[in-house]
Chains A and B, each alone.
Chain A
Amino acid sequence: MADTVVKTADPKMAELRKFMAEQKKTQYNDEASLIAILHKAQELYGYLSVEAMDEVAVTMKIPTAHIWGVATFYHYFCLTPKGKYVISVCLGTACYVKGADEIMSKIKDELKIKVGETTPDKLFTLQEARCLGACGIAPVMMINDKIYGTLTPKKVTEILNNYRKQG
């Protein structure tokens, strides 16, 4: 089938299409570049949407079931949109002995979500992390690119409230 480039209002999709066209030229076969393409899609959208995976399937002629297999196999790929603030709670050894589990359960209670989930208002996503390299100030969490150390459950509530205020 001819590679008709479909005009779309979505500039991210246009970039993804451009990326796929380049991959088609350089790769030995279409499936060889699948992971690189999924990386690109996630980079653009923050997660792998069904629409993006469908687009990859149609353009690269790879069965959707196969793409779904790759997308679910690697933990790096995220299948649901992430919140505005991604909270990574360190559960590494140092943080753990300093009470990271309490921090984690406090956040779960506050946000009423489990690990890997996003709040319905799309503000927060909760993740686990294995050592953020800041053991000196354990227990630690990271919100987007910012580190918060020597946490207590009380501090956590304050921090979250600050983000809530910012919206």
Chain B
Amino acid sequence: MHGISRRGLLKTGVAAGVLSLSGMPLRAQTRGGKLTAGLSGANTSDSWDGRTHSDLYMIASAQGAVFDSLTEVAADGSLKGELAESWEASADAKTWTFNLRQGVTFHNGKAFGADDVIESLQLHVAEGSKSAAQPIVAAIAEMTKITDSQVQFTLESGNADFPYLMSDYHLLMYPAGQIEEAIAQGIGTGLYQVQSFDPGVRMVATRYPDHYKGDSAGYFDEIEYIAINDNTARMNALMTGQVDAINRIDFKTEALLRANPALRIQEVTGNQQYTFPMLTDVAPFNDVNIRKALKYGINRQEMVDKILLGHGAVGNDTPIGPANQFYNAEMEQLDYDPDQAKFYLQQAGLDSLDIDLSASNAAFEGAVDAAQLFQSSAAAGGININVVQEPADGYWSNVWLKKPFCACYWSGRATEDWMFSTAYEAGVPWNDSQWDEKDSARFQELLLMARAELDSNTRRDQYHEMQQILRDEGGVLVPMFANYVQAVNNRISSPDTVGNLWQMDNARMAERWSVA
């Protein structure tokens, strides 16, 4: 029953025939055809307002197809200009000048210029705006239009990563003076022009002729994104050939997909991480020895094997993952060692320790199971973990940041500073371990130094040291990085390097993939 299906055989047969006839290499990207993708993360409340985007469906539709940002993170993790052509910083990384691409038009024909940049960014700091990118824009003290194609940003304090921040998927460029209309109809400068958009159901867009990216991107004539939040329905749609690609495959039925010769599975390890933060201002977690004991009491490899079913990598208690530029790969890996755990308990003056660990599958899929694995591995080190299963509803407001020890997840950030300043800088609202000067003054000092440092070698050393500090003393256990796993029909070809910052090639499959 799971052998080669009639359809699959036909498809691969035809594909192979065409390839051998044309003699083209597999990766050649041809224009034309249609991409139909079944994506999760859609809601009936979705809109083209970038400030509200939080899940794959709208990110792939907006930044991935219809809209552009100033900069873009390439599949290999490097930064390149999108609507900005180039940028320079002052020596203190406080003043940034962006040169905008000329001759770009919005889908309604309006030319793109400096006013659009300023007005689009101001949306995020508007009165009453609840934009998730608010802190990024709020850090800009002044935005000045120098010429129609040049904008200068003066920051509150130096930030070497500022161009990276401009690639955030919330920061979309809208036509100035027509923003309401652009949000209602989806008018951007992206490769694809909206044909129809039914929130939570379907989005169809066609290639915008004469796009500034020319022949280097956006190979399809048409794209259709179908909202399929149900896992099984998404797998079925791919198996029966009704969609060409799906995100987030279900590991339990992965074998069926692998057995289908017409499909291939794409798997990348990015920065998505499953964590157990502890509040370092609450006893007993205020004692670094207790934190160390826990670090040795958790069996990371077992979690990757059993919770992620192998689709991931072990973490080293830092939020900086393989998708980051200054990831410290040489740092020695923390290993499960109950004797070390016992040793650090003794250092803290204890023979055994009883703690509660709050978990719910709202934190991540399998969080409760992970907590139970942790419970059994820690028991060997004299740590008795009591797993408290919390209700999924209201988890993020009632448990996370409130209970001293709980389960959590982060999708990670493109840059080190972005991640640290979201969750590890003293005083920020999402600092889920209350990590600040009392724990490591050196860490906070390095954070500020590295942020304004333009020399990459110095920055590398600084970020490596910060990762070291977190590994040895940090208040967050990062036992695993979860892979992004998606499946694609062989009718569609994708480049060798697939982005690992987000699902579906950084949500840019409409731009980078093509018909095989």
Instruction: Note whether A and B form a binding pair.
Output: no
Using a CB–CB cutoff of 8 Å, the interface residues on chain A facing chain B are none
Using a CB–CB cutoff of 8 Å, the interface residues on chain B facing chain A are none
